[in-house]
Amino acid sequence: MHSVGKSWLLLTGFILFYIIYLLFGALVFSSIERPVEDKLRHDMEALKQEFLGQSCVNAASLEKFLVKVLTANKYGVSVLRNSSATSNWDLASSMFFANTLVTTVGYGHTTPLSDTGKAFSIVYALIGVPFTMLVLTACVQRLMYPLVLAPVGLLQRTGMEPRPATVVHFLLLLTLVVLCFFVAPAAVFSAVEVSWSFLDGIYFSFISLCTIGLGDFVPGTQPGQKYRQLYQVSVMVYLFVGLMMMYLLLRTFHKMADLHGLTTFLQLPRCEETDQDEDREPIVETNHEDQTPPHLTEKAASKPLEPGSQPSYNTINKG
């Protein structure tokens, strides 16, 4: 099989395994945490009825009630009737939690209730975080040619000098990322989330895609929200693709800095040479009339390529 086909097949396998890993985590978290959450809801309802049944409420009983209410609220269980209709540990919510865990976004709006859930979170993240970084890196590697190398080459073929071409390309890519992963999602979030403004949507997108995850704005947590599970899955896809594009943007900037000598000036490491143009078709066809002896051809093919022989972003002339 051709190396390009193998690489795409491997990437598809990575993505499928990533989805299966999220589903596995969601099933485990849901099976562990949902019974504990149901018990906590029952206890809070009993506490509420007990508090309402008191003929005389003193400061001590009120303080005890508030402490238990705030503790339960920290785990996503509210004493309010309309806030307890949906579970925080159904399959979609558990998958959303698993996604925020392995992408290190970690909003903190939902946390494991049991010691078993906490222990599983450690093991799950220990495997899931590096694997997520591997999948993101593999995806960005495949996107480097169609979104970075090819556009820069196209700008140069229009007569633009190499350095200005890289700057124009980076600005265009930055504009595309801002519009598609900040402005457009903010408009969607402000429309779906009743209490969010457009600025709140921009703020949430920035906090999420920078993996800061403060947790003051979390989508899909309002009671009675329509298509909540589908909405949470859509946000998961947005987070994964958005993180991938942020990584691509940073990698493009690093390569542009290499070309302009900024990394050398600041004595920073250059971006590694890992972008092989596997998708490129050969510009010059091989001359089949060339009578090179087979043993010489095999010897040449077995020799390692020189570091500068592979075309990449950094091979653009710095003139």
Q: What's the pLDDT tens digit per position in 66-118?
A: 888 777 777 777 766 555 557 889 999 999 999 999 999 998 888 898 999 99
Q: Residue 81: its pLDDT value, please?
A: 59
Q: Residue 301: its pLDDT value, please?
A: 44
For residue 241, pLDDT over 80 is answered with yes
Lowest-confidence pick of 28-42, 108-122, 146-160, 256-270:
256-270
Percent of the chain with pLDDT over 70: 82
Are the CB atoms for 80 and 72 separated by under 8 Å? no
Higher pLDDT, 269 or 121: 121
Q: Residue 315: its pLDDT value, please?
A: 53
For residue 207, pLDDT over 50 is answered with yes
Are the CB atoms for 225 and 91 separated by under 8 Å? no
Q: Residue 276: its pLDDT value, please?
A: 44
For residue 225, pLDDT over 90 is answered with no
Q: Residue 120: its pLDDT value, please?
A: 97
The set of residues, in sequence order, having a beta carbon less than 8 Å from that of 198 and lying 6+ positions away, is: 186, 187, 190
Q: Residue 293: its pLDDT value, please?
A: 52
pLDDT tens digits for range 28-69: 999 999 999 888 888 888 888 887 777 677 778 778 878 887
Lowest-confidence pick of 119-128, 139-148, 223-232, 303-312:
303-312
Residues 190-213: what's their mean pLDDT? 95
Fold of 86-267: Helix Hairpins (1.10.287)
Are the CB atoms for 155 and 169 separated by under 8 Å? yes
Q: Residue 267: its pLDDT value, please?
A: 79
Q: Where are the beta strands (DSSP E) in 170-265?
A: none
Average pLDDT value for the chain: 83
Q: What residue ranges do the domains of the chain occupy?
A: 9-78, 86-267
- Burial of 87-111, coded b for 16+ CB within 10 Å and e otherwise, reads bbbbbbbbbbbbbbbbbebbbebbb
Are the CB atoms for 209 and 177 separated by under 8 Å? no
Residues 156-174: what's their mean pLDDT? 92
Kindly report the number of other CB atoms within 10 A of residue 181's CB atom.
Answer: 23
Q: Residue 85: its pLDDT value, please?
A: 58
Kindly report the number of other CB atoms within 10 A of residue 263's CB atom.
Answer: 17
Q: Residue 298: its pLDDT value, please?
A: 47
Residues 161-177: what's their mean pLDDT? 94
Percent of the chain with pLDDT over 90: 51
